[in-house]
Amino acid sequence: MTTQHSTEKTPMARVGRFHHRLRRFIVPAFALAVFALPLHATAQPLAPDVYKGGDRLLAAFRPVAADVRTSTVRILLDGEPVALGTVVSEDGYILTKATQLRGDITVRLPKGVEKDAKTVAVHGPSDLALLKIDATGLTPAEWTEAEPEVGSWLLSVGEGRSPVGVGVVSVAARRIAPQRGVLGIELEIDSTIKTVFPGSGAAEAGLQVGDVITAIAGESVDGRDALMGRLRRFRPGDTLPLIYRRGEKEQEVNATLGNELTTMIDRQARQNMMAGPLSVRSGGFDRALQHDTVLRPEDCGGPVADLSGRVVGVNIARAGRVETYTLPTSAVRPILSKLMAQDQRTANR
């Protein structure tokens, strides 16, 4: 097994060409906006492709994204895209977002080849998973420990020539408070279900109004308080076995906990979701920086680069309308070492 560590220097010629190209896009656009209007012109909306997430602006970042794209893969479950992945070794190890992984995993490589993958290790606190595919000659990400400053541009790199999104660092790396995992139900005092929220883990598991939950993850629960206390030990995205009573019959089912901000919709949640869906798990990280890139949950897990093309971390969650969290390199590397060691111990048994 081979891994590649950071390369702090990037060819200045490539960086210079990118900055020149970016200036060529932004300066003429500004000049047109200021000088090309008649004296009494009526304001016209900008074309969508020149917005921050527009095609023309994203295309301006292609020179920087080019090298990082070779270290980026698409994660598929049953043929559907659920995450991006970051290549971390030449011989088939890939880092991605753990709570996105359910079902049969396939990895699509930069040249379009698809490989079956298996999860070999998971780090719950960071929501990172290490995958392994049967492949050699991959291009590992070139990490840098230098953390971007507030106000710096970041590129979220995907499969295409253009990045999947660009944004600006809005808050320096900090601890992100944990979230409460929820089933998506309201309970009577005795743990009888009185409401099941549509689209929740409870609804998908087939729970119904009138069912009585008697055990969660192997532990009996007697009443609403005991049930809620048991659930507090778990995070959004965790799948738990439940035992419930329906009429005279006791049954068992697996249910996946959701994010309380998106499962039980309120006004704040609706505002946060105006720019698209949020990640099921978007909290409980020891250290993450925040940027304003508009990112789909299925585009988390991939590398994030600065304007020099250095990988500064891994996108881990879309948390709000203008909030995306990235685990910086300084947090990712120690976790990656633990995951690699865990897989080696398993292989040597």
What domain range includes position 210? 181-260
Would residue 4 count as lying in a domain?
A: no
Residue 165 and residue 236 share a domain: no
Question: pLDDT for 120-158, tens place per residue?
Answer: 999 999 999 999 999 999 999 999 999 999 999 999 999
Residue 338 and residue 211 share a domain: no
Who's near 39: CB < 8 A, 6+ residues apart?
none
Residue 158 and residue 227 share a domain: no
Would residue 5 count as lying in a domain?
A: no
Residue 115 and residue 80 share a domain: yes
Would residue 150 count as lying in a domain?
A: yes
Residue 321 and residue 298 share a domain: yes
Provide the token pair at 47: 């074309």
Indicate the number of domains in the chain: 2
- Identify the residue with better confidence: 39 or 259: 259
- 57: CATH: 2.40.10.120
Would residue 271 count as lying in a domain?
A: no
Q: Which of 31-35, 42-46, 278-282 bottoms out in mean pLDDT, i.e. has the lowest?
A: 31-35
What does the pLDDT read at residue 345?
85
- 197: CATH: 2.30.42.10
Residue 306 and residue 240 share a domain: no
Residue 213 and residue 99 share a domain: no
CA 253 to each of CA 189, 202, 207, 342: distance values in angstroms, whole numbers, following the listed order? 22, 10, 9, 30
What does the pLDDT read at residue 154?
96
Residue 185 and residue 172 share a domain: no
Residue 238 and residue 289 share a domain: no
Instruction: Give me the residue label for tokens 């398993």.
Output: 346
Residue 23 and residue 113 share a domain: yes
Would residue 7 count as lying in a domain?
A: no
Who's near 329: CB < 8 A, 6+ residues apart?
6, 143, 144, 145, 147, 311, 312, 313
What does the pLDDT read at residue 48?
52
Q: What is the mean pLDDT of the chain?
A: 85
Would residue 165 count as lying in a domain?
A: yes
What does the pLDDT read at residue 337?
96
Residue 252 and residue 305 share a domain: no
Would residue 212 count as lying in a domain?
A: yes
Would residue 269 count as lying in a domain?
A: no
